[in-house]
Structure 1
Amino acid sequence: MSTVLDRPADQAEHSPHSRSLVSTLLHSRELAVALVLIAIIVFTTFQSSGFVFSSDGWRNLLVTPSLLLLLAVGQAVVIVTRNVDLSVGSILGLTAYLTGKLFSENPNLPILVVFLAGIAVGCLLGLVNGVMVAFGKVPALVITLGTLYVYRGIFLTWAGSDRINASDMPGDFLALGTKTVLSIPVLTIIALAVLAAVGYYLHTARGGREFYAIGSDPEAAKLYGLPITRRVIAAFVLSGALAGLAGVVYAARYGTVSSGAGLGIEFQAVGAAVIGGVAIFGGSGTVWGAAIGAFLLVTINRALPIVGISDFWQRAVVGALIIAAIVLDRVLAARQERQLVAARDEARNSA
């Protein structure tokens, strides 16, 4: 009769771990979204090889999602705390215009100073959101919907009919939009570095774990003594900072900034986070998933016209993905709740 002792030692030792790893991968939302992304890229490449196998195709595949990736990472942190930030598109537009004005009025200004200025302005605007949400006890949806219009109004009042052109910015700065390192665009490297830093913090630092605890059960977090107000404000400040960084990246990527910069991109940021597995009701999800969701949304928008799908259906597909992601979250949450209740009842009966 075969027993565990009859198996090779390494098979007996590693089989449970292997099964656990396979099970985790099969149930990974991030993996599922990544596979969909790969399938879309492969299918579209068969339709048009230039989608990937050309210098512009490869660069656009990597650099175009960088803006949305930065916004989605910040949005994911805010959503994890059971909030939402709808002002990021306006912050992006404002800081993109600020970038152009700084360069046009100070041609010799160091590029690093402009990056820091954009991040600082984003932090300040995010701080305004966080303070009002944390101390005003008003839903973040309402607060950030209001600041979306306030920040956009400030942008439009400041810019008016003015437009920042490539000639207003130095060549070294604009080169960031096209420069690559080992065939990877510099702007993509910046976005991935931010992703790695935020992801590492969320999953290793105590403060990162507290974000999840607050989103999972705010009342329990309060009873436990977690600094809820400070963490919520920090989440909005981070979101604002990344939106400010995205504004500088926008200016480098496109070379021109008009009053429509960042218009509507806040909803794409929320969609990317939700599609990537960040629960809209807070407490779960990863910035890695949000980043994959950003790549998926941007890739879909680029791929669908190539396969002959109209603009209406492009929007419909994105909307369907968001709805499906939210429904899936609720189904999985209900299933987990039933499993927990069953486990609790079984423990009581065995006792």
Structure 2
Amino acid sequence: MSNLPGLEPLATTAIPTSRVSRRISFMGRVRELSILLALLIVIVAATAKNPNFTFSADGWRDLFLTPSILVLVAVGQGIVLITRNVDLSVGSVMGLSAYLTGRLFIDLPGIPMLLVIVLVVIFGGVLGLISGALVAFARVPAMVITLGMLYAYRGINVLWAGSDRINASDLPRDFLSLGTGQVLSIPILAIIAFIVLFIAAWLIKNTRGGREYYAIGSDPAAAELYGLKTTRRVLTAFVLSGALAGLAGVFYAARYGTVNSQAGSGWELDAVGAAVIGGVAITGGVGTLWGAAIGGMLLATINRALPVLGIPDFWQRFVVGLLILGAIVLDRAVALRQKRRLIESRGREDAPPPPGVPEPETARSNA
């Protein structure tokens, strides 16, 4: 595999690695099922306390509509986390995109809704590209870069919007109906979010580019030595994250109808929390976008359910914080356990044979 003279590829045994990979995959499925079970428990508990939580028209709609925005941001964040990076600017990108959506409708009367959506998604992708380029080329930790971009983009939004805000009366009716419309009792925004999730999850799992994201997140140095285009993959991860945050901004404007300079504040932490709770390791290389989406649904549902259960705001944040800390500790424990098992498996493969059993090379020479 190496082109350097005198260097031959090391012989490796595929069996231990495949076993560990299967264990990691199994643990991931168990993790996602446990988060899904927790989501169902929260829904059942809130419904038992107040049946309108689920069985009213508004309750059923909000059950799907409220998490749809966070799911989009969490999926984008999950892609970046898989590459062993983090994008803390998504909340500000979402806020800027939401305000841009309103300004396009106000400043360009009659502009087609589809064109607005495309332009805002491209705008979000460009903002993500800026952050990704700084991370990929400047070789500065993503947390530092995106934290700075969070404040920079938020400052631009405050400068642009000032004390003004966009109201529902400023937006076209057909656009607002996007945020309230339903198909077979399922909100349109939730259907779009699911389609985006399905496409992104399939591409990440089944394409070579998607598998390269995992390879980069597992070991960036080894990925570069292997010849993977790590810079390109990191750039595309941030572009996708920014584009999905842009689409979430469109959803935000359609869902709430009112947009000001503080739109999207704090969503970056919810996005990271949702992805981590859903099984996407903060250290990269592990997790699925389905898990990130389920984590987003759980967080959004908890924030809506706990007030119904009569739990004060402080304890709501405390519960979310405990979920995030628990997820990080669990990921670390699983990673250490799998590493220990991998080392033990390789140790058994490299151990000398029992007395009387020839070494593999000796056996071949005698043959």
What is the TM-score when the length of structure 1 is the normalising length? 0.92
Once residues 142 and 305 of structure 1 are traced to their aligned partners in structure 2, the CA distance between those partners, rounded to angstroms, is: 35
Match of 2:251 in 1: 249
Once residues 190 and 138 of structure 2 are traced to their aligned partners in structure 1, the CA distance between those partners, rounded to angstroms, is: 37
State the one-letter code of the partner of 2:127. Answer: L
1:122 aligns with 2:124: yes
Q: For residue 342 of structure 1, report the CA deviation from its aligned partner.
A: 1.2
User: Which of these two proteins has the greater Rg computed from alpha carbons?
Assistant: 2
Does structure 2 conserve the Cα–Cα contact (< 8 Å) formed by 1:130 and 1:237? yes
1:163 aligns with 2:165: yes
Match of 1:7 in 2: none
Of residues 61, 83, 95, the one that matches 1:93 is: 95
Q: For residue 25 of structure 1, report the CA deviation from its aligned partner.
A: 7.7
SS at match of 2:55: coil
Once residues 223 and 32 of structure 1 are traced to their aligned partners in structure 2, the CA distance between those partners, rounded to angstroms, is: 37
Of residues 95, 98, 105, the one that matches 1:103 is: 105
Match of 1:15 in 2: none
SS at match of 2:200: helix
SS at match of 1:28: helix
State the one-letter code of the partner of 2:108. Answer: N
**Residues 74-89 of structure 1 correspond to what in structure 2 (within 5 A)?**
74-89=76-91
SS at match of 1:52: helix
SS at match of 1:259: coil
Match of 1:206 in 2: 208
**Residues 1-351 of structure 1 correspond to what in structure 2 (within 5 A)?**
24=26, 28-349=30-351, 351=353
Does structure 1 conserve the Cα–Cα contact (< 8 Å) formed by 2:278 and 2:295? yes
SS at match of 1:103: helix
Does structure 2 conserve the Cα–Cα contact (< 8 Å) formed by 1:107 and 1:170? no
Once residues 123 and 161 of structure 1 are traced to their aligned partners in structure 2, the CA distance between those partners, rounded to angstroms, is: 27
Once residues 262 and 160 of structure 2 are traced to their aligned partners in structure 1, the CA distance between those partners, rounded to angstroms, is: 13
Does structure 2 conserve the Cα–Cα contact (< 8 Å) formed by 1:79 and 1:278? yes
Percent identity between the two aligned chains: 62
Once residues 322 and 338 of structure 1 are traced to their aligned partners in structure 2, the CA distance between those partners, rounded to angstroms, is: 24
Does structure 2 conserve the Cα–Cα contact (< 8 Å) formed by 1:25 and 1:31? no
Deviations 1:126-173 (A, max 9, x none): 000010000000000000000001000111101011110111110000
State the one-letter code of the partner of 1:171. Answer: R
Once residues 190 and 36 of structure 1 are traced to their aligned partners in structure 2, the CA distance between those partners, rounded to angstroms, is: 24
Q: For residue 258 of structure 1, report the CA deviation from its aligned partner.
A: 1.1
SS at match of 2:351: helix
Q: For residue 26 of structure 1, report the CA deviation from its aligned partner.
A: 9.1
Deviations 1:115-135 (A, max 9, x none): 001101101100000100000
Q: For residue 107 of structure 1, report the CA deviation from its aligned partner.
A: 2.2
Match of 2:15 in 1: none
Deviations 1:277-304 (A, max 9, x none): 0000000100000000000001111111
Once residues 150 and 27 of structure 1 are traced to their aligned partners in structure 2, the CA distance between those partners, rounded to angstroms, is: 38
Change (3 A) 1:247 1:340: same
Once residues 224 and 41 of structure 1 are traced to their aligned partners in structure 2, the CA distance between those partners, rounded to angstroms, is: 46
| Structure 1 alignment gaps of length 5 or more | 1-19
State the one-letter code of the partner of 1:148. Answer: L
Once residues 174 and 41 of structure 2 are traced to their aligned partners in structure 1, the CA distance between those partners, rounded to angstroms, is: 37
> How many residue pairs are counted as aligned between the two chains?
331
Q: Which runs of 4+ in 1 moved over 4 A?
A: none
State the one-letter code of the partner of 1:194. Answer: V
Does structure 2 conserve the Cα–Cα contact (< 8 Å) formed by 1:305 and 1:311? yes
Does structure 2 conserve the Cα–Cα contact (< 8 Å) formed by 1:47 and 1:306? yes
SS at match of 1:163: coil
State the one-letter code of the partner of 1:317. Answer: V
What is the TM-score when the length of structure 2 is the normalising length? 0.88
| Structure 2 alignment gaps of length 5 or more | 1-21, 354-367
Deviations 1:25-66 (A, max 9, x none): 896211110011111111111111111001100100101011
